[in-house]
């Protein structure tokens, strides 16, 4: 298998690039024709049933008005019933033939099931589901007084969408309906002081990308990534606290109209306003430039609030002017930037960090990648703090690490999903060693199932609790100690966090949230703490053995050895890399997602259902 990976790392990139160059022109022509067709045959929603969450204000309120103007029947859900009634009255005046209001808290599973049932019982069907409800939190990561309190944001922004979607799927299948998921530009353009908000929105984007690949043509999905929009979330001291005074806020009405137009056309993605996609281009081509800009802008921001009177005119001008200007600037800065990046890469190889005698804390160290990372650090003479739930397995790993050269190894039995356990293992490591140099957030569990197959949707919470919060809690308590040593954080995400993987919507979302959170933290920390984000492909471990591979329909993909993957991770961390994709050929799939997302969706959907049972195909 390792030989196959070495061959693929060499052969696959040039073959793929050649295929893309040959295939891309015809694909773009096909996409252009499809775009024209969607404009001509835009869906008429008169008389159709639309359910909107978070409809009491902001984008959700104006989405209700926009659907009402087109004659749709509305089910409006939010916590503030008085505000909902006012929105419902106006929606009726604008042309909606029937509007019901449902007071609900979408962070509660039972509430989500109740309002879906109530809407379907009242109207007899469901055509569009708009998951818009969300909250925001603005604060530096280290300034959070109680880190466990931040879970409220993920519960509302992410789990609220998951729960509602789960209960709506059977009804949307019957009507060949559509889901509109309101994410945010912050989901792929991480910003400081909003790490948890960014993570929740990245999770939403990943979740719906996977569902789009799983559903195929049965249920349409439109993923919306708005920029700064004038609403309750962006009023008051939001702009100044987030230090985004220089960004023009788009009017809520204009944004809502663009969203409904996009949903009726059947678009896969909507970036609104369109000029904000330039930030994505900058992130892909020059991620360090964006990080430096946001870090120093966050520290030295002195911009005055943007005048809101001409917001929409400004947005229109920026939609026209910014793309060509940004492309010209990129063409000018890209050559010197690539030279600097190449020199930095050489410097990283020459001046790789010597970890002999340094202290490394590794979570999930009882098996798999975590176990092999422990051995790699041991061979380099590092002192180790190994954390996992299975103490008997930890003892075996610790014994082997001592034989390989680690001068001191301690074991700590802990559950990373519990905030008190995370505080305890960091405190115990500090008490024993007196310092902390590297934190390796590796603990994770798999989840391979279709969302519809989950017997109890709330059981899936453990995936995010361990994969996401397990890393967050450990990092929160370790940061003060890592600042003292100018240390590093190595976070083990997954390729599933970058692109859709069949039957892994929740797992992929948890890993996408990790990537986004640590990209935000990298901006906040600057050069004080290094962060290496690792996105492995399929690696031989307990998570990829047995029936998991067959359930995920990835038996045909080669699996990399855990030892090779761990060696690459430790090498990358010692070089101070920002990102590591291992094996490197997996990065080609990300390129496909950027250039031809529809093709990747078709491939994943075909892979998922090529050998599916007949009854599942019929249900799909």
Whether 383 and 474 share a structural domain: yes
Confidence category of residue 240, pLDDT binned at 50, 70, 90:
low
For 378-432, the pLDDT digits (tens) are 999 999 999 999 989 999 999 999 999 999 999 999 999 999 999 999 999 999 9
Whether 314 and 357 share a structural domain: no
Q: Is the residue at 240 inside a domain?
A: yes
Mean pLDDT rounded to a whole number for the chain = 85
The arithmetic mean of pLDDT across residues 2-15, rounded, is: 76
- pLDDT-wise least confident of 68-72, 222-226, 318-322, 381-385: 318-322
Whether 312 and 397 share a structural domain: no
Whether 367 and 295 share a structural domain: no
Residue at token pair 């009882």: 366
Q: Is the residue at 445 inside a domain?
A: yes
Provide the domain count of the chain. 2
CB neighbours (10 Å) of residue 455? 6
The arithmetic mean of pLDDT across residues 331-348, rounded, is: 81
Instruction: Return the DSSP state at 385.
Output: E
Whether 161 and 67 share a structural domain: yes
Q: Is the residue at 87 inside a domain?
A: yes
Q: Is the residue at 338 inside a domain?
A: no
For 437-482, the pLDDT digits (tens) are 999 999 998 888 888 888 788 889 999 999 999 999 999 999 999 9
The arithmetic mean of pLDDT across residues 596-619, rounded, is: 61
Residue at token pair 């069949």: 502
Residue 2: what pLDDT? Answer: 64
What amino acid positions are annotated as catalytic residues?
A: 197
Is residue 271 within 8 A of residue 255, CB to CB? The reply is no
Confidence category of residue 617, pLDDT binned at 50, 70, 90:
very low
Confidence category of residue 196, pLDDT binned at 50, 70, 90:
very high
With H, G, I as helix, E, B as strand and everything else as coil, classify residue 54: coil
For 119-159, the pLDDT digits (tens) are 999 999 999 999 999 888 888 888 888 888 888 999 999 99
Whether 371 and 304 share a structural domain: no
Q: Is the residue at 606 inside a domain?
A: no
C-alpha span between 226 and 219 (Å, rounded)? 22
Whether 359 and 306 share a structural domain: no
Whether 532 and 443 share a structural domain: yes
Domain harbouring 282, CATH code: 3.40.50.720
Instruction: Return the DSSP state at 415.
Output: -
Confidence category of residue 70, pLDDT binned at 50, 70, 90:
very high
Whether 475 and 531 share a structural domain: yes
Q: Is the residue at 193 inside a domain?
A: yes
Phi, psi values for residue 280, rounded to 5°: -70, -40
Residue 547: what pLDDT? Answer: 61
C-alpha span between 595 and 33 (Å, rounded)? 17
Residue 453: what pLDDT? Answer: 83
User: Cα angle vertex 307, ends 301, 308, to 5°?
Assistant: 120
Residue 546: what pLDDT? Answer: 60
For 282-324, the pLDDT digits (tens) are 777 777 777 776 666 554 544 444 444 455 666 667 777 777 8
Whether 358 and 315 share a structural domain: no
Confidence category of residue 613, pLDDT binned at 50, 70, 90:
very low
Quote the distance between the C-alpha of residue 385 and its chain's center: 29
Residue 258: what pLDDT? Answer: 94
Is residue 492 within 8 A of residue 442, CB to CB? The reply is yes
Whether 501 and 565 share a structural domain: yes
Whether 368 and 293 share a structural domain: no
> Residues of the chain with pLDDT > 90: what percent?
53
Confidence category of residue 554, pLDDT binned at 50, 70, 90:
low
With H, G, I as helix, E, B as strand and everything else as coil, classify residue 533: strand
Cα distances from 549 to residues 214, 222, 232, 552, in angstroms, run 17, 29, 45, 5
Q: Is the residue at 306 inside a domain?
A: yes
Cα distances from 349 to residues 289, 344, 374, 491, 578, in angstroms, run 21, 9, 21, 20, 14
Residue 8: what pLDDT? Answer: 76
Instruction: Return the DSSP state at 503.
Output: T
C-alpha span between 228 and 189 (Å, rounded)? 12
Q: Is the residue at 327 inside a domain?
A: no
**Which residues constitute the domain of residue 89?**
42-319
């Amino acid at each position: 298998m390792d030989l196959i990976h070495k061959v693929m790392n060499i052969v696959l990139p040039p073959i793929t690039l050649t295929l893309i160059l040959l295939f891309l022109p015809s694909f773009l022509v096909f996409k252009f024709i499809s775009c024209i067709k969607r404009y001509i045959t835009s869906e008429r929603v008169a008389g159709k049933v639309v359910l909107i969450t978070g409809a009491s204000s902001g984008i959700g309120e104006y989405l209700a008005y926009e659907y009402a103007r087109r004659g749709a029947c509305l089910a409006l859900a939010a916590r503030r019933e008085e505000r909902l009634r006012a929105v419902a009255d106006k929606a009726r005046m604008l042309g909606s033939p029937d509007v019901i209001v449902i007071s609900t808290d979408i962070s509660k599973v039972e509430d989500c099931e109740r309002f879906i049932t109530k809407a379907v019982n009242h109207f007899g069907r469901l055509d569009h589901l708009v998951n818009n409800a969300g909250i925001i939190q603005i604060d530096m990561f280290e300034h959070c007084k109680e880190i466990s309190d931040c879970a409220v944001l993920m519960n509302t922004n992410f789990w609220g969408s998951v729960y509602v979607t789960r209960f709506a799927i059977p009804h949307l299948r019957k009507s060949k309906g559509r889901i509109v998921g309101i994410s945010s530009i912050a989901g792929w353009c991480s910003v400081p002081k909003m790490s948890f908000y960014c993570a929740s929105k990245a999770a939403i984007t990943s979740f719906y990308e996977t569902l789009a690949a799983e559903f195929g043509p049965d249920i349409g999905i439109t993923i919306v990534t708005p920029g700064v929009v004038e609403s309750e979330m962006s009023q008051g001291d939001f702009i100044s606290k987030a230090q985004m005074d220089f960004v023009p806020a788009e009017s809520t009405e204009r944004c809502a109209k663009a969203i409904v137009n996009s949903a009726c056309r059947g678009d896969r993605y909507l970036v609104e306003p369109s000029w904000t996609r330039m930030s994505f281009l900058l992130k892909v081509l020059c991620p360090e430039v964006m990080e430096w800009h946001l870090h120093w802008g966050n520290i030295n921001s002195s911009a005055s609030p943007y005048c809101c009177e001409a917001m929409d005119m400004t947005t229109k001008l920026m939609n026209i002017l910014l793309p060509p200007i940004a492309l010209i600037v990129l063409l000018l800065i890209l050559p010197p930037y690539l030279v600097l990046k190449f020199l930095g890469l050489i410097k990283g190889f020459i001046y790789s960090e010597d970890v002999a005698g340094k202290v490394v804390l590794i979570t999930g160290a009882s098996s798999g990648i975590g176990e092999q990372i422990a051995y790699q650090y041991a061979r380099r003479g590092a002192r180790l703090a190994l954390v996992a739930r299975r103490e008997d397995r930890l003892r075996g790993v610790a014994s082997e690490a001592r034989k390989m050269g680690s001068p001191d190894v301690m074991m700590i039995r802990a559950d990373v999903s519990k905030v008190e356990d995370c505080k305890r293992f960091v405190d115990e490591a500090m008490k024993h060693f007196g310092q902390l140099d590297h934190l390796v957030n590796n603990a994770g569990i798999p989840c391979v199932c279709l969302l519809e197959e989950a017997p109890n949707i709330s059981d899936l919470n453990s995936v995010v609790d361990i994969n996401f919060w397990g890393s967050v809690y450990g990092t929160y308590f370790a940061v003060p100690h890592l600042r003292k040593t100018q240390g590093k954080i190595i976070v083990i995400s997954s390729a599933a966090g970058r692109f859709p993987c069949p039957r892994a919507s929740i797992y992929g979302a948890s890993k996408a949230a990790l990537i986004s959170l640590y990209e935000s933290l990298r901006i906040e920390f600057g050069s004080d703490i290094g962060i290496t984000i690792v996105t492995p492909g399929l690696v031989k471990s307990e998570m990829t053995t047995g029936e998991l591979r067959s359930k995920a329909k990835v038996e045909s993909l080669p699996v990399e050895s855990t030892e090779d993957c761990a060696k690459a991770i430790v090498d990358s961390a010692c070089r101070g890399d920002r990102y590591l994709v291992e094996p490197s050929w997996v990065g080609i799939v990300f390129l496909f997602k950027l250039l031809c997302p529809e093709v990747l969706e078709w491939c994943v959907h075909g892979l998922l259902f090529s050998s599916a049972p007949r009854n599942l195909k019929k249900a799909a």
